[in-house]
A and B are shown apart, each in its own frame.
Chain A
C-alpha cells in the first residue's frame, strides 16, 4: 500500500523513470527502507493497469528508459489517500508478546516478572540503539521522523509492560500460586 502511494506521490511532482522513483522513494523515507527495482516496476504495472499512471514514452521503449506520469484518476486517488486517515488495526491483539504475557500470568510455573523484565530490557536495548541511530543523522528530518516512529513504538511497548506489572500488583488475587508438578513430568 505504502509503495503504491509513495510512487503516486512522487509522480505527482513530475513524470519519472523507474530508477528515479526507486532512489527518490528511498531518500524520502530517510533511506530506512530499500526498494528493489523489480518491486518498482511491478507496482508501476499495476498502477498502469488500474489507470492511475500512464507511460510517457514511445511504445517499445525498454524498462530502464520508460517514463511514467500521473493520470487524472491517479491524482484523485492520491488526494483521497491524503484526505483519509490510515485505519488502525482494531482486530484483537495477536502479537506474540501479548500472548506471552497473558500466558505468563496464567501459568504458575512461569515467572511473570522475569518475563516482563527480560522483554523490557531487550526493548530498552533496541530503544538505545534506535536513539544512537537517530543522533548519527540528527539533521536529516525524514530519517528522524521514521526513526522516531520506531522509538515511540518501543516506548509504548515498555510503558505497556510497566502497566501490566502495575495491574498485577493491584489485582486482589495476585499471581497464581505455584501449582502441583505437571503430571507428564517423570522425575
Chain B
C-alpha cells in the first residue's frame, strides 16, 4: 500500500482561552493518500483551521499522532520540524501572503534558499514551479503588478516548489472573484496528483466539490464524509417538459 502523505491518528487538541479549556479537535483520524485532494468543511469554530495548523506542524496536538510523508511530527525537534515543513509542506492562504519587496520568482525561491540550497538551484526550481502554474513570464514581476488570481498562483507555486508533497490551502479562493477562484481551484486540483496531496479548507460548497473527498467537521469532530466514487449522483437530466399547456 502506498504510504499516505498525511495521517492524523486520534488527534485531540485542547487550547485555553483564559481559564476555559476549549476542545478544538476531538479524536480526529484522517488519511490523505498521494494524489488526493481532501476538502474540509464546517461552521466557524468547528476545528478546520486547527486541523490545518496541526497537519502543517504549526502547532502540536494535545494527544494523538500526526505523520507527514512517513515521519511522525512529534519525533522531531523544533528545528527538524521547521526543516520538515519547508521541505515537504506548502501553504496557500486567503490573502496570498507574498512578500511585496520580492519578485514572484524570489517569493517562490525563498523557502528553498532558507533551506540552504544554492541561490542558482533555488531560482531554477522557482522558475519551474512558476511554469507549472502558467506564470513563467511573470517571474520578475512584483506582487503589486499581479492580479489577485496571479498572486494566488504564485502562492501555489511557492507551495509546490522543490519536492513538496503536501499542500495545505486555507480558504485560497476567499479573496478572489468567482471565475478566478475557479481557475485557482483548477490549478490546485491539477497539482494534487502523483506524489502530491492537498487539504483544502473552504466554506464554499462548490469549491469543496472539486475534492476527491469532503470531510465535515462539527464541534471538533468528523461527523460525515463523502467521496466521488458513488453512482447515485450521475448527471441525468430528463427531456424537457412538454409545452402542451403553454399554448394560448
Contacts and interface: CB of A to CB of B under 8 A. Distances in A.
Chain A complexes with chain B: yes
Interface of B: 43, 189, 204-206, 208-211, 214, 216, 218, 223-228, 230, 232-235, 237, 239-240, 242-244, 246-248
A44 B128 CA distance: 58
A39 B238 CA distance: 13
Nearest to A130: B235
Interface stretch (A53-61, A91-99, A121-129): A121-129
Interface string A1-26: 11110000000000000000000000
A124 B216 CA distance: 11
Contacts of B244: 42, 46
B192 to A, nearest CB: 13
Given A39-B240, A124-B226, A49 B214 contact: no
B235 A125 contact: no
List 6 A-B pairs, minimum CB-CB distance, nearest first.
A129-B233, A127-B209, A158-B205, A126-B233, A155-B206, A131-B209
A152 interface: yes
A124 B208 contact: yes
Given A125-B230, A129-B235, A166-B43, A151 B209 contact: yes
Contacts of B235: 32, 129-130, 133, 147, 150
Interface residues of A, number: 43
B206 A128 contact: no
A76 interface: no
11 contacts: A2-B240, A49-B247, A50-B248, A121-B225, A124-B205, A128-B214, A128-B226, A129-B228, A131-B209, A135-B189, A162-B43
Interface of A: 1-4, 32-36, 39, 42-43, 46, 49-50, 113, 117, 120-133, 135, 147, 150-152, 154-155, 158-159, 162, 165-166
B40 to A, nearest CB: 12
A94 B92 CA distance: 42
B247 A50 contact: yes
Contacts of B211: 128
B39 to A, nearest CB: 9
Contacts, number: 99
Dominant SS at the A interface?
helix
A155 B204 contact: yes
A33 B43 contact: no
Nearest to B232: A125
A167 B228 CA distance: 30
B182 to A, nearest CB: 9
A137 to B, nearest CB: 11
A3 to B, nearest CB: 5
A124 B243 contact: no
A145 B219 CA distance: 37
Contact of A128 (B223, B233, B239): B233
B237 to A, nearest CB: 5
B228 to A, nearest CB: 5
A132 B210 CA distance: 8
B240 A35 contact: yes
Contacts of B246: 1, 4, 46
Given A124-B226, A155-B206, A3 B240 contact: yes
A43 to B, nearest CB: 5
B226 A33 contact: no
A33 B232 CA distance: 19
B205 to A, nearest CB: 4
Given A4-B246, A117-B223, A155-B205, A36 B239 contact: yes
A33 B237 contact: yes
